[in-house]
Amino acid sequence: MSYTPPPHGFRTFVIVWAAQSLSVIGSGMTGFALNVYLAQVLYAAPEQKVELALAFTALSLGFTIPFVFGGPLAGAYADRHDRKQIMIVANVANGLTTALTLALMLAGSLQSGCLWSSASSLQRRRHFTTPLSMRRMRCWYRTACCPELTA
């Protein structure tokens, strides 16, 4: 069975990649800003060293845990449903979560628990926009290491 690539496939990929790149840079900026917020606003006093360390750890876990445990499941889910819809929903959900984080920050109600939720949510979006499903990894492996299987 021969594979026919979709028309304008690479152009579509470049457009999605460029837009996602902006979002990735934005998320990187937020990660930095949240560290600054924790260290300079929420736990600014020197005697809050332990609380600050715990908050950094919680934030780091918030970024890591969903990625590790949700990744394989999200990849399999993305293989079964409309990828465009999944990416749109994931981006809108994250836009709303980030907007909620902003609102809480402006209201002075942003605590480390909310930051943890926000970080987890950002990672959930990454599952659906990063090509890391096990099934896709299998395709990648076949193409990269066993080209005779793909031919």
Partner 1 sequence: MMQTTWSLSGIISPALAALIIALPALAAQGALPLAILAAMRDGTPLVIAIDALTFFFCAAVLVAIHVPSPKRADIGAGGRIEQGLWADVREGATFIWQRPPLLWLLSAFVIANMAGAPAGVIVPLLVKFNLAPNGAAHGLIFETTLALLGVVRALEGSLAGCSSAPGAD
CA-to-CA separations, 15 to 19, 124, 137, in angstroms, rounded: 6, 22, 23
Q: Does 113 bind partner 1 (CB under 8 A)?
A: no
Candidates 83, 63, 65, 64; CA nearest to 135 is: 83
Q: Does 2 bind partner 1 (CB under 8 A)?
A: no
Q: Does 73 bind partner 1 (CB under 8 A)?
A: yes
* Helices (H), ranges, the chain: 9-37, 49-80, 83-107, 112-129, 134-145, 147-150
Q: Does 143 bind partner 1 (CB under 8 A)?
A: no
Contacts with partner 1: how many residues (CB under 8 A)?
A: 69
Q: Does 40 bind partner 1 (CB under 8 A)?
A: yes
CB atoms within 10 A of CB 58: 16
| Candidate list 69, 70, 98, 113; residue touching partner 1; CB under 8 A | 98
| Candidate list 62, 75, 112, 124; residue touching partner 1; CB under 8 A | 75
Candidates 104, 107, 116; CA nearest to 54 is: 116
Residues 96, 22 contacting (CB under 8 angstroms): no
Which spans of this chain sit near partner 1 (rule: CB under 8 A)? 6, 9, 12, 15-17, 19-33, 35-41, 46, 49, 52-53, 56-57, 60, 64, 72-73, 75-77, 79-84, 87-88, 91-92, 94-95, 98-99, 101-102, 105-106, 125, 130-131, 133-135, 137-138, 141, 145
